[in-house]
Amino acid sequence: MILSFAEMTTQASETPNKDIPEEINGLRMTRQRQEVYRFLMGERIHPTANEVFMGIKKALPNVSLATVYNCLEALVQHKIIRQVNFDREPSRYCPNLDEHGHFHDETTGTIHDVKFKPGINLTDLLDLPPNTVIKDIEITLRGQLA
Amino acid sequence: MILSFAEMTTQASETPNKDIPEEINGLRMTRQRQEVYRFLMGERIHPTANEVFMGIKKALPNVSLATVYNCLEALVQHKIIRQVNFDREPSRYCPNLDEHGHFHDETTGTIHDVKFKPGINLTDLLDLPPNTVIKDIEITLRGQLA
DNA sequence: TTTGTAGCAAGAACTATTCTAAATATCATC
DNA sequence: GATGATATTTAGAATAGTTCTTGCTACAAA
């Protein structure tokens, strides 16, 4: 089968991804956004933008890295995924929206989600200035699985 | 007074900074490292490498940005200062070595140290995999001072 | 002094990310 | 459907923080 140029560069409506809705949190899920999101959901590896790019190329051979960045940014802004940063390493992306931290295993380079024990309210443990409105908390651990 | 090139580019021993020792944690404190460290101690603003660079130019007109990066890296590796990252913004540097978090005030762009309430052991609150050795914890808060 | 190692300066190089411009797709309305 | 307005994608250029390279200078040990 030979695809026309129009078919190859199609967006959302053709070749739909049945298991991903056409809209999430008010964001229209184009074909590219679907593939990016699907890849993140499937992998538990907190991939970088470039890893997403390479991972979805099989499904979307004409996708560009800029589009991957665009998609990731859109998904983050609509609170569909989270962006995670370790030091100055490339950003990683995470489909787990529960409040959680990240443990960076130095020996393998892998990243694991870390849940908080039940009933813990983090801001209770911190000596915050009065009248502080916290919008986001990020907890990062670095170490080794001995 | 006219300085020879050799005098202008001198390192640690000339024009000593009396209040900073010649060695900290096994790191020889050259003139450049002293000025970088002094600047960090004086400012409470968690400066970036570039801000340090501009801040020490008066004392060290010939210093280069690469040297500032080298100094900061050396100080970090010898656990004399801490490197702090917010998202993908430029790294900031912090002379406070106590275990603490950072609150990023979105309205002013300023960064405040956040102490933990006494008796809190952070790892107790996290659901870590068994046999985990934690080497470093980073807590970042983002929000506003209402 | 000589010799080896560490540190510095200047600028080039690197890399993750963002921007720009043009093409294409989608949506709303006819 | 067709048409015009808006959104999205693409490719490549541009940006910015940081690191690397090279040549030189300083310091330490013998």
pLDDT at residue A142 tops 50: yes
* pLDDT tens readout for residues A20-69: 788 999 999 999 999 999 999 997 789 999 999 999 999 999 999 999 99
B114 to A135: CB separation less than 8 angstroms, yes or no: no
Q: Least CA distance to A89: which residue of chain B?
A: B88
All residues of chain A having their beta carbon less than 8 Å from the beta carbon of residue B77 are none
- How distant is C1' of C22 from CA of A56, in Å? 24
The DSSP output letter for B80 is S
CA separation for the pair B68, A69 (Å, rounded): 32
B78 CA to chain A: closest CA distance, Å? Answer: 17
Write the CB contacts of A116 (distance below 8 Å, at least 6 apart in sequence).
A99, A100, A101, A122, B125, B126, B127
Residues A97, A98, A101, A105, CA torsion sign: negative
In this predicted structure, which of A43-47, A73-77, B45-49, B100-104 has the lowest mean pLDDT? A43-47
Cβ atoms of B118 and A132 closer than 8 Å: no
Query: What's the token pair of residue B24?
Result: 């900290």
A93 CA to chain B: closest CA distance, Å? Answer: 12
* Mean pLDDT, range B87-92, rounded to an integer: 95
Q: Pairing relation of β-strands A23-24 and B23-24?
A: unpaired
The DSSP output letter for A14 is S
**Region of residue A109 (phi > 0: left; psi between -120 and 50: alpha; otherwise: beta):** left
Cα–Cα distances in angstroms (integers) from residue A22 to residues A12, A28, A29, A37, in the given order: 8, 6, 5, 12
A128 to B114: CB separation less than 8 angstroms, yes or no: yes
Cβ atoms of B107 and A107 closer than 8 Å: no
Q: Pairing relation of β-strands A132-145 and A101-105?
A: parallel
| CA dihedral of B35, B57, B113, B98, whole degrees rounded to 10 | -10
B139 to A136: CB separation less than 8 angstroms, yes or no: no
